[in-house]
Amino acid sequence: MIANQQILQPTLQPTWTPERIDQLKSYFAAGLSCRDIAVNIGVSRNAVIGKLSRLNLTRTSPEERRARRKRSSHPAQKSTAKQPFQIRHAVYDQEPDDAPIVSANHCSLLELSEQHCRWPISTPGAEDFCFCGNTPLGGMPYCSGHYRLAYQVGSRHRAARG
């Protein structure tokens, strides 16, 4: 190797002789700065830096190491990042005002009691006239749906009752 180089480049004085490269590597391994290596070998600092990079012997500065850590940990940060706050489904804790009121326990006037919503279904006097009959709200004459109708749309209630 050494002989070959001497034969191939007999007149050239290369900056980097194999001996100097060995020195460079050992100084680098010892942790010397580029400037110190350059002084010890007797070459320019730029030559040291250039040769080190060609040899892939790069020593990163603390800043560069930090930046590299940051970059390398970025995917992990991404995967552990908090998920976007999930939009909670709206909870209907009460029926919308226009929800149909299901009166499943129609009862006649005679059957009405405090346990029956007394909201009139259909027209009083009609053959199918009856009352809602649902379980009323506590202390109220109407079930929840009809209570809402009675007190939010009172005019309709009065009209329905005639």
- The stretch near Zn ion (CB under 5 A) out of 8-16, 78-86, 131-139, 153-161 is 131-139
Question: Is residue 149 part of the contact set for Zn ion (CB under 5 A)?
Answer: no
Write down the least CB distance from residue 93 to Zn ion, Å.
Answer: 20
DSSP SS3 for 107:
strand
Our CB check for Zn ion shows the closer of 57 and 99 to be: 99
Question: Is residue 118 part of the contact set for Zn ion (CB under 5 A)?
Answer: no
Write down the least CB distance from residue 101 to Zn ion, Å.
Answer: 6
Write down the least CB distance from residue 76 to Zn ion, Å.
Answer: 59
Question: Is residue 20 part of the contact set for Zn ion (CB under 5 A)?
Answer: no
Total of chain residues touching Zn ion, rule CB under 5 A: 6
- The stretch near Zn ion (CB under 5 A) out of 37-45, 62-70, 75-83, 118-126 is 118-126
Question: Is residue 119 part of the contact set for Zn ion (CB under 5 A)?
Answer: yes
Our CB check for Zn ion shows the closer of 64 and 97 to be: 97
> Would you say 150 and 119 are in contact if contact means Cβ atoms under 8 Å apart?
yes
* Pairing outcome for strands 120-121 and 130-131: antiparallel
Three-state SS letters, 19-66: HHHHHHHHHHHHCCCHHHHHHHHCCCHHHHHHHHHHCCCCCCCHHHHH
Helix (H) or strand (E) holding 70: helix 62-80
- The stretch near Zn ion (CB under 5 A) out of 21-29, 68-76, 86-94, 129-137 is 129-137
Helix (H) or strand (E) holding 150: helix 144-152
Q: In degrees rounded to 5, what are phi and psi of residue 138?
A: -55, 120
DSSP SS3 for 11:
coil
Q: Which residue ranges make up the site for Zn ion (CB under 5 A)? A: 117, 119, 132, 134, 143, 146
